[in-house]
Amino acid sequence: MISLPKLRLVFVVILVFLGLALRIKYFDQIGGDHETYKKAVTEFLSGENPYKYTVASFENTELKNGYAYFPTLLYIQSALVKLNGVINLDWPTKHMWKVPVLIADMLIIWLLAIRYYRKDFYFFLVSAAFWLFNPHILARSEYVLYDPLAVLFLLLGMLHVEKKGFLSGVFFAISVSLKSFGVILLPVIFLKSNNKVRWLLGGALVAVLISLPFLNDLKTYLAGTIQVHAERGVQGRPFLTFLSFYGYKYGINFYQTIYSGIYTKLAVILPWLTGIFLYFKKKGASVFQLSLIPVTIYFLLTPVISRTHLLWFIPVILIGLYDTFKENKKLIYSAVATLYIFLYMYLRIWNTGFMIYECSMLSVYPSEKASTRICDKRDEFGFSHCPESLGRCLPHCCIK
């Protein structure tokens, strides 16, 4: 007769094995940014500054967008390319670059196990299954993302924040350097740090170290990593634009396409202010509990949501729900199930993101600019009507 502890371990091993098998099944897939990454790595390894092309690509719409992130992922990919050359493995980058992501996925499960395996085994199973078979990989049948790397380091930063301030700052900065979404929780994490000076020093150290190769052209570096993101319109399928798109006939319009700049700022400022308020209001709350409302506000307001963005805070939300409702397990599992179903359905109906086109009241179509479509009619809600091929229109823009 197998003992209960051994039976649990076997079950977890099978669960992890199935999660690994699911990911390996999609190892041949190539993401839309793959060639962008390859170009940046080639330029970096040849001694060129890849951010020069990045800046040029955002100034010239005829060029494909360049590498527009901090260089941490670039270093990881470049190191793997160099290693591949040294050992003469001839491993395709589409496989090679997924290995760190796969490791990150497994380490996230390991961190959940450390926190819950003995404390609450059934919640560990639920949270591990949620991540291993997350809504994105099941709804989209895709594994071309690098987001789990940033998720891992954000989780590490939050888990260490009340015990090891310097280490937490290091992990948080690495996470932000991979994907900037962790900035949403900056005030909450900083305020919960047991040593705020050390936390700042840890973050500053990472910022300096990753920037060293580009300090000789700081202007281009900052332009390529930060400034190119400053003016972003609606991208992907943000929630308020989604509601406006399908509810405009009923007078529902959040004007996110017109005021995307304002929404972008509010999506950062309001979570910050909310996090600060909650910190002083609920002193005993964990960093994960304090993150729930700021994360919700961010996703509600942001005009930029790509499919993989919906994965960013999953471990944070799961732990936050547990910390908040741990006395009511039915409520926890109901909330987790609701979240999973919602994300899965939202991703399932996501055939394409919204495509925004600049429009005016001129009755000219097409315009001289290839990226511009012109609308000249509006309904009682102020919505323009574009040619059938462009789908419905929101004020001042065509959207489909």
DSSP of 70-129: -THHHHHHHHHHHHHHHTT----HHHHTTHHHHHHHHHHHHHHHHHHTTT-HHHHHHHHH
pLDDT of residue 162 exceeding 90: yes
Mean pLDDT calculated for residue range 347-373: 49
pTM beyond 0.75: yes
Strands 397-399 and 356-358 come out as: antiparallel
Residues in a beta bridge with 372:
358
Binning pLDDT at 50, 70 and 90, where does residue 255 land? confident
Q: Give whole-number Cα distances, 393 to 147, 233, 237, 317, 381, in Å.
A: 32, 15, 15, 34, 11
Q: What's the pLDDT at 228?
A: 65
Burial 197-208 (b: 16+ CB within 10 A, else e): ebbbebbeebee
Residue 351 DSSP symbol: S
Mean pLDDT calculated for residue range 293-301: 97
Q: Look up tokens 């300090």; give the residue.
A: 215
pLDDT of residue 370 exceeding 70: no
Q: What's the pLDDT at 274?
A: 98
Q: Which residue has the higher pLDDT, 337 or 61?
A: 337
Structure confidence by residue, pLDDT tens digits, 50-109: 999 988 887 776 677 888 899 999 999 999 999 998 888 889 999 999 999 999 999 999
Number of alpha helices (DSSP H) and beta strands (DSSP E) in the chain = 18, 5
Structure confidence by residue, pLDDT tens digits, 13-23: 999 999 999 99
Mean pLDDT calculated for residue range 32-38: 91
* Segments making up each domain of the chain, as ranges: 31-96, 230-348, 355-400
**Per the structure block, which two tokens stand in for 155?**
């989780």
Distance CA 148, CA 199 (A): 23
Distance CA 210, CA 204 (A): 10
Q: Give whole-number Cα distances, 297 to 20, 269, 292, 345, in Å.
A: 33, 10, 9, 20
Q: What's the pLDDT at 72?
A: 97
Phi, psi of 71 (to 5 degrees): -80, 5
Mean pLDDT calculated for residue range 293-320: 95
Binning pLDDT at 50, 70 and 90, where does residue 387 land? very low
Mean pLDDT calculated for residue range 14-33: 94
Mean pLDDT calculated for residue range 174-184: 96
- Please confirm whether the linkage preceding 366 is cis (ω < 30° from 0): yes
Q: What's the pLDDT at 394?
A: 47
Residues in a beta bridge with 399:
356
Which one, of 364, 333, 58, 44, lies nearest residue 210 by Cα?
Answer: 44
